[in-house]
Amino acid sequence: MTEKKIDRKLIRHIALLARIEMTDEQAETLGRQFAGIVAYMDKLGELDTDGVEPMAHALDVRNVLAEDTPGRSLPVEQAMANAPARDGGFYKVPKVIGDSQ
């Protein structure tokens, strides 16, 4: 299978992608467990899967479409009732630049 090394740098990289802060000690422990789990996953490499169609869905369902007819939205207070921080009708976050995309 792929060449890989489960080192602290990789764990740090994955942790950043996953947005999970961790201490060096946690990264160390996780790295060790990761190595074991990944080695186990590597077992799949034994199987010949050439030409096998990947299966992303449990069932073969197609074309589930809804009509473009408006339904009910939540009242703002209900929609934002769980918001950890608000400024009026906005969710409040630290300064960011621009919009995503």
Partner 1 sequence: MTKPDNTQPVIGLEIHVELATETKMFCRCANRFGDPPNTHTCPVCIGMPGSLPVMNKKAVEYSMKVGMALNCTVPEFTKWDRKSYYYPDLPKNYQISQYDLPLTIDGHLDIPLTGGQTKRIGITRAHLEEDAGKNVHDFPAHTGVDLNRAGVPLLEIVTEPHLRSVEEVMSFARAMHRLVRWLGVSQANMEMGQMRFEPNISLWVGDPEKVFDESAGYFTPIFEVKNLNSFRSLERTCQWVIDYHQARIAEKGRGWSLADVGKQNWGFRDDLNACEFQRGKEEAHDYRYFPEPDLAPVVVDDAWRERIAKQIGELPIARKARYLDKYKISEKEADALTLDSPTGDLLDAAVAAGAEAKRCVNLMLGKGASIANERGCRIAEIRITPEQLAELAKMLAGGKVNATAADKIFAKMVETGDTPGKIAEAEGLLAIFDAGKIGEWVDQAIAKNPQAVEDVRAGGKKQKKAFGFLTGQVMQLSGGAATPAQVQKLLHEKLGG
Partner 2 sequence: MSDILNLSALGLRDAIAAGEVSAAEATRDYLDAIEAMDKKVCAYNEIFAERAMGRAEEIDKKRSAGKTLGALAGVPVAVKDNICTSFGRTSCSSKILENFHAPYDATVAGKLESAGAIILGKTNMDEFAMGSSTENSAFNATRNPWDTSHVPGGSSGGSAAAVAARMCAAAVGSDTGGSIRQPAAFCGVVGLKPTYGRVSRYGLVAFGSSLDQIGPLARDVADSALLLGAIAGHDTHDSTSIDRPVPEYLASLDKPVEKLRVGLVKEFHSESLDDEIRAAVDKAVKIYRDAGAEIIEVSLPHSRVDTDEGGQLSSYAVACYYLVATAEASSNLARYDGVHYGHRTADKVGDIIELYSRSRAEGFGDEVKRRIMLGTYALSSGYYDAYYLKALKVRRLIKNDFDKAFENCDVLLCPVAPETAFKIGEKTADPLTMYLSDIYTISVNLAGIPGVSIPAGLSESGLPLAVQLLGNVFAEETLLRAARMYEMASGITRLTPEIVKEN
DSSP state, residue 44: G
- Spatial separation of the C-alpha atoms in residues 91 and 79, rounded to whole Å: 11
**CB 44, CB 37: distance < 8 Å:** no
Residue 62 partner contact from partner 2, partner 1, none using kind-dependent CB cut-offs of 5 to 8 Å: partner 1
* 14-43: contacts with partner 1 (CB under 8 A): 17, 19
> Minimum distance from CB of 24 to partner 2 (Å)?
13
Based on the shown chain and the rule CB under 8 A, indicate whether residue 49 belongs to the binding site for partner 2: yes
Q: How far, in Å, are 2, 45, 92 from residue 86 at the CA level?
A: 46, 49, 5
Residues making contact with partner 1 (CB under 8 A): 17, 19, 56-57, 61-74, 76, 79-80, 87-101
